[in-house]
Every structure is written in structure tokens, then in C-alpha cells.
Structure 1
Amino acid sequence: MTQDPKSAGGDYKEKIEIFLSCQDLVSKDMFSKTDAFVVDSKTGKFEEIGRTETIKLRVTSSHYKKHMDILFQNLFFFNIFFFAVHVNERDEYNPSFGKSFVVDFAFEEEQEVRFDVYDQDKNNAKSLKGQDFIGCCNMTLGEIMHASGNLYIFLFNDVVILQMTRMLLHKGKSMKNGSTKMCSRLTARIEVVAKCGHEGIVITFGGEHLASMDFFGKSDPFLEIYRMTNTQPLLVYRTEKIDNTEKPVWKPITISSQELCNSDPDRSLLLRVLDWDSNGSHELIGEVKTTLNALRKNFNVELENGKKKGKKVGTLKVVEFRSTPFFSFLDYVMGGIDLSLMVAIDFTASNGKPSHSQSLHHLSAQGTQYQLALRTIANTVSCYDSDQRFPVWGFASKKIVHFFSINFLLVLCTPCVGNKGGKIPHGDVMHVFPLNGNDMNPEVRGVYGIEEAYLNALAKVELFGPTLFYPILKKAVTLQRWLIPTSNIKLNITLC
């Protein structure tokens, strides 16, 4: 019986996708724009990796059309993550985030998450200082993944969606929205990322004969795409608005199938076309449900609006659709890719004299540190090299008399870059040289041949310097151009 590698020891990490939303948020300002961030880090040192668009929130007239700015700080104490998003939502105090986050869930680790919610007072400010703190909540990924506590599990077309909601606390106390009289809350929804079937998608949507939702002029339409569940749809993308038109063509959307439908081409999607309003009270023009598979096939459908039954509100169509499969390394290997390993060994004096036990070139019973590294990496990569022949060079050393062949000495006597036509004197620094002494064919056979050439060179060169990578990288690039195959795909790897 073959053992599942996941249960055979070692870390097991599953990729999960997190969607965030808030309910009944308290308002801190009279007027402001929506500009939200989600920050994840185990060290408290934040490193931003992305932001979504900014759209105003709509609030009730009883609160003078206030617009709230919300800023989220999401702190992983045991895993380093960082995200920044601009929040958007039309519904009063309940923003739903179109930006989702894919993170690793490690069963054996306690991955505690803290969400800090801020009302942003400074536009485009990367620092949290000066932002108005609303509240925070804590949960662990383990609590969400394991059906316990304030958790709900939704099954949708055999897809498990996990959800946890927590109250937001300010100085240890819950807060109530002045209008709804409900406590402010944050909801995290999780879906396990599909392991196969990923592809990159570029899709351009357009509309025709879109109904005007304004008293004067035409609509300012934009498009939202939702991934359907049996409860609240998950917003995955929102386009830009196009002013005053009934025939919009939005900018091409570049998205992965995982982001769009978790790589399920038959997963139901909701497409909504809305008329943009400056106060955030965007009005629905029409919507339609579809799938990724349907979008591929000359998609052109009538939009529906439940409030305007029997009245045409326009059509939505796909102007262009392109997809490119995402291949794994295993896919390439099974497809016949060949890895060509090139090795360059550092003979800089900073490595220490080989006679000293602390030197990386010191020969112990197990070999030098370079040999140990070679065995670890080269033994793995060599399995995917069909001819088992590897070019091996050294750099940053001085040559000792009688080491290399006459042919190699002739090569060294040619003009070098930066010497303006001069010759390389005997004994000067060699910034790139073949360990087998043959500049026309620096290859050796097998990993054993790499070690043999290395030890032979180590005994016959003087460690020197400085460490210059450009000459060796230039040599590797030049050689790989000569070795480009006519049929099989070849990936060249240079190990320095």
C-alpha cells in the first residue's frame, strides 16, 4: 500500500483563499473617501504587496450622506503575509472586499490572525499613524478550518466554504452602529484553492443598448463579477466606469481561473452591470448568471433587472476571450523538458584558506562545504539532464604555473574586457576559467566529475578576488545560446 506523502511526515500546507467583509461598521467621520488596507505580518514589519480600487460608500440620508473610510490591518503572528486593499461597497455600513488573498494553511502551526479596522483620515498614507482606529478582532486559521465556535459551513456544488464572524472590539469593548443598533463585526470566508486546472484568462467585456438610469444623459456603467455560493456571492472583480455611454467596452480583465471560479469552469458566476454614482449609491442596470465555459463561446446575452420585469435593459457580451494554461514543473518534466546544469565555483580569498577548518574550501572527511552543496543541488538537478555533461568554471583566483594546458594559456593571452587591448599577465586574477582546463569544452561527466575537477583545481590555484559575477554570467549566457536545441525544451540553470 502506497503511503500518502502528506501523512508521511514533514510540513503539509494547503493553499486557502480568504474573503473579507464587515457588517454594521461605526462611522468616525462626517465626510471622507473609502480607502482601505489589509496588512499581514508575523513580525509587525509591514511590506505592502497590492491594493485594489477605491470606491465611496453610501450611507443613509439620516447621517448626512457620510462616507466612511475603512482600513484593515490583518496580522499573522506565525506566517509572514502582507496585503493592502482599497475597499468598496454600495451598501451602507457593510463593505465587501473584491480583493481576496491566497495564503498557506499549515496544520501543524498556530496561525493567529488579527484584523484591525481603521477609518482612514489621510489619503495615500502608507503608515498607520494618523488613521482613526475603529476596532479589531482575533481568530486563528485553525478555528476557521475546523468546524468550531462561531463558524458556518456552506456546501455549494460540492465546494466547501468556511465562514467565521467576530465582533470588532475597541479597547476591549464592542461597538454599536448608531443607525442599525447592531454591533460592528468582521467576517472571514475561506475556500480551499483548487490544485489543478489553473489557467490565465484575458477577457474583454462590452455592453450594448444599456438602459439609462439617470434623468439626464446616459449611464456611467461599470461591471462587477461575483463567484456564486448558496449564500452571499463573493466579489472577485470590478471594472472601471465609463462615462455617459450605452455601448461600453471595458478594459481587458487579466485574471486567473483560480481567482475567477477556483478553477471550476462550471462554477456559477454573477455578472452585474451598474450605473456609477458619485455618492456611492450605484444603481443596478442588469445582471446575468453564467459560467467560465459559457464565456468562452460567443457570449452575448440579455441583462435582467428584477425591478423592471419585461423591460429591456441592454445586453452584455464578450468582445475578446483568451486563455493560457498554467503548467506545473511536473507538467514540463513529463513533457520532455531537459535541465542543463552549469556550475561556477567561487575561489575568492574571503572563503578562507583551505588549510583552516573554518574555510568553505577546507577538506574534511565529508568533503568541503562546496562539495556538500554540490551533492545536495547537483544530484537533484542532474536527474533531469539527459547527457549528464556539465560545464564547470571557477572565478576570482590566481593561476599557478603548469596547472592548465597550453591551449588554455593561449586563450588567456587574448585581450580581455576592460584591459583596452592589453594581455592578461601570467599569474593575474582569473575571473572565469574552466576547471577541466579546456576553454573550448568546459564540460565534465556526472556529478562525480564536477567534484573531481573542483578538487583538482583547488590544489592548483591561489584564492584571490574580487568577486565578480558578470564575467561568469556572460560566459554562461554565451554557452547556452550555442546549446539551444532544435526540438526539445531546455532550461539552463547556473549554480554559483
Structure 2
Amino acid sequence: MNNSFPNMASIGDIDPLNPSIPATKVEITVSCRNLLDMDTFSKSDPICVLYTQAMGNKEWREFGRTEVIDNTLNPDFVRKFILDYFFEERQNLRLDLYDVDSKSANLSKHSVIKDNAVHTPAIAMFLDFLGQAHCTLGEIVGSLGSRLEKPLGGIPGKKCGTIIVKAEELNNCRESVMMQFCGNKLDKKDFFGKSDPFLVFYRSNEDGTFTICHKTEVVKNTLNPVWQAFKIPVRALCNGDYDRTIKVEVYDWDRDGSHDFIGEFSTSYRELSRGQSQFNVYEVVNPKKKGKKKKYLNSGTVTLLSFLVDIEVTFLDYIKGGTQINFTVAIDFTASNGNPAQPTSLHYMSPYQLNAYAMALKAVGEIIQDYDSDKMFPALGFGAKLPPDGRVSHEFALNGNPQNPYCDGIDGVMEAYYQTLKSVQLYGPTNFAPVINHVARYAASVKDGSQYFVLLIITDGVITDMALTKEAIVNASSLPMSIIIVGVGPAEFDAMVELDGDEIRLSSRGRFAERDIVQFVPFRDYIDRSGNHVLSMARLAKDVLAEIPDQFLSYMRTRGIKPSPAPPPYTPPAQPIQTQI
């Protein structure tokens, strides 16, 4: 079907969950214990202010604030923060605590909240700073029971107490809806027949524009079509806002792509949720016809036949239930990268900026580490001659310990990478299969849903063991693992596109991969021309990690693995809470 519409966006292969729609929304609840006491004759009157950063931007912007709670050092704030959650983004958060004092006349000791930032006082409420905490949204949801407890800091030499941040996924984000529509007495558009109608659904955006979110099939040669039932996530249909306008356009399909506009109508999720009733029979109106013909009523009607809501298990249900994501990195040490001592090398260690390998590793690793409780990551290399005997290896530990290749955090992986560059000789060829099989051995031993494995391969070149790599990927596609390949440098990466399997499902020796588990991207596509490496890394991570939650869910669902129940809500210890003197 050729989709060239005269007055609408292209509606070829629609991804209803395009990048502008969050994976889900989470509700953040904040509590504090043992805050500093700033008031002379009573306890502090705390408020919490949440700041966020835009992707690739270091500027903090106020997102919102809680209510003020009078006279307490142990507030449980009632007002929640509702945040869009993206697994593939590092969503930095800053939580500032203040003691609100609107009676003080001595302004020099205070700050003031004004214009979404903390300023020197002018008007509004006066504040004493009580401390702050930094974290990521991933860190909160990745913590046991999605509950993160951190010490407050920011005042040198003082213990500022503790902040407790809890995340709860909002229910309307996990809903999908199954709907079916029929048409009645639609306008006849074809000269030799009737019409070939289909529907196109759009959700409205906050700026007044519309984004396509679903397209039905074409029903041939009828003015009274009955379209097949279809399923769509509620967040794709209306971004979780039940009253947001949903626009539906009706078209007559033409072979040459110049589909004829029959008419349109608007509704909302709340209206549709009434189900089959007189409220859900819609007049299809063509505004042009209505403007020209006084007796024009409509171009037919469209009726909702059924509306069924389904609650789906989500990625966050598994994370909350304790599933760990294990991250392994494998780095290409083949000679085609160039001599690491030369600035032209892809492995060159400049004192001024990270090389492409380090940027890719840091971009992906710093997001995934939030979902791994011990923060110990295996780091492997391939394609180098190793000391002392110069043997070529395609699966060696960067820390030099094959029995225990784990590094402490992403910083530990970076350090091991830098040390390896000083001790090995870059060689070749470029073989992926050994490192894929290495991670697959671990994944094969844990199939109960408690762990999922992500392998990041960073490479500069053309793969030399293609047949063995395809076989390794096909074997791994039945295991709880995903593979991310980042290509660095100027090489042609045609072979990697085949491994990605987005267009054609990967096969080996007549066996097809059970799932698409590979995501390949060339790093050069993400380099910011202005030299903003923070933005380059954020864009890279967003793209390569975007498929992980769906790959994760496809494994769990095909195996019938349900999320473990979340741990019981935290109950504080029985001993009395100490207050600060």
C-alpha cells in the first residue's frame, strides 16, 4: 500500500510507541528522616524541591515541589512527583530540602524560590537550605522494592539526615485497549465501485499538533465496513490522559497512493471507554463539503462495536520484583584501530576528552548499572596479542584475571580498559563469537527470570567470523540476553546490519533466531557537530537501549515467567527516631 496522503503525515509502518512517548509514568514519593533543625523555638518546616535535566543538558530546571510540613524533622510528603520514565535515558534528579521561614526579616541568611530556581531573596517564601541528594530515576526504580535511601549532603561538616525516595508505576501506563469499529453509509468515492475505507487514529499533543498512532486495514469495496479489532497501548493512544482529544480520519484507499479523504471525527479515551452505546456513534464530517453545501449532514457514521481493557505486565514489574540486569562489555583490540599512541587511533587516550570506545562504554554502562545491585561488571577484550607470550586471544579479561573478570563499577571497567591498552599488542582478526558464547554460558545457567544479560560489543571493523557469530546469536536468542553492537570509526558496517535482524530475521544453518536480540548502531551517527559529547553519549544510549525492555519482555512472556512479587513495603525500625540537637 502506497501511503502518500495529501493532508496528513506519512502512515507507513507506524510505531505507536515512538520515542516521544515514555515507556511509562512513575509516581515519586519523598520522605526524610533526621533533618537539620533550623528553627530556634520549634522544629524545621521542610519542603522538597525536585530538579531535572534535559537530555544532554547539564542545566538543572525545577520540576516541582512538595507541600510544606510544619514543625517536623521527619516529613512524609503527601504531594507526589509524576515523571515520564525512559529506560534508555539517564534521567538525573536533584532533590533539595529547605526549611520554610516566611516570618524572618533577616534576608541575608536565606534563599528564595522564584522563577523555577533558587535565587537571592526578593519576594515569596524565604528558605534555609537543609541539604540535597542526587540520583537517577533508574537508580530509584532499580533499587529493591523501588525504594532508594540516601544521605543528604551539601552542608560541609554537618550530618543532614536521610532522604527516602519511592517510585510507583502508574496503572494507566500498563493498560492496553482492544477496540473494534464499523462504518455505515460512508461516502462513495470510487467511480466503478463503492469505497475501500480505512481509519487513521491520531493522538493530540500539548502544542495542538497531532501524532499518528494507529491505522486500520483497508476493507475493499463497501460503504459499510467492519474493521478488524486492534490492540493499542493506552499511552500510545492518549499518553495516559483520558480526556485528551483523539482524532480519527476516514479515507478511501487508492492504489496510486492518492487516498481520498472521506471525513473525520473526534473523541477521547474517556468517551470510548463507555463501550458500545449511543455515545459512541460518530458522524463522519468532511469540513470542505460542510462549508459548500447547506444541506450537508455527514459523510456516514463510524460506530464503536467493542472496547476491552487489558492490564499488561511491564518491564518495571520485573525490576521491582528483583530481576537483575547483568552488563558485560567486550572491546575490540584489533590492529585496524591504529596505534594507541597516535592521535589518529580510535584507542588514543587524549588528556582532554574520551575516545569513541570510552564514550560508548560510559554512555551505555552508566544507565544499565542502575539495574545491577552489586555494580560488578565483567569486561572482556578480543583481537589482541597478550603478554607474556604474545598469544592471540578473542576472549580475555581486561583486568588480567580470567577466573574473575569483574570490574568495580563503570569506572573500574574504564580503568581496566586503559590499563589493557598499555599492556597488549593490537592484532586481529575481528571475531565476535567467543565473547557472545562467553555471556551465553552464564545466561544459559539462569533461566528463571531472576537475571537478564546485556552484552555491549564495541568494534571498529568488519567481522571475520560471520558464520560462527550468526550461529552464536541464533543460539543466544533463546536465552535471557540481548546484544548491543556499537561501531566506531569510518568503516563500512554492512555486515552488522544483517546481524541486527530488524529487516530480515537472522538465521544460521537453516535455523532462525527465536527473537531479535541484536541492536547495532554506528557511533558516527550520534556525534554532535557542536562538540557536545554529553549530548552525543545521551543520543547513543537512547537509541541502543530503547529496544532492551521489549526484548526483555519477549523472553519473559514466551517462557511464561511472571514477575516475582515486590518485597513488602518498608517498615521503619521500632526504635525511636533520633532528632538532631
Greater RCO (Cα-Cα under 8 Å, separation 6 or more): 2
Calculate the TM-score normalised by the size of structure 1: 0.43
Whichever structure has more helix as a proportion of its residues is: 2
Task: Please identify the structure whose Cα radius of gyration is greater.
Answer: 1
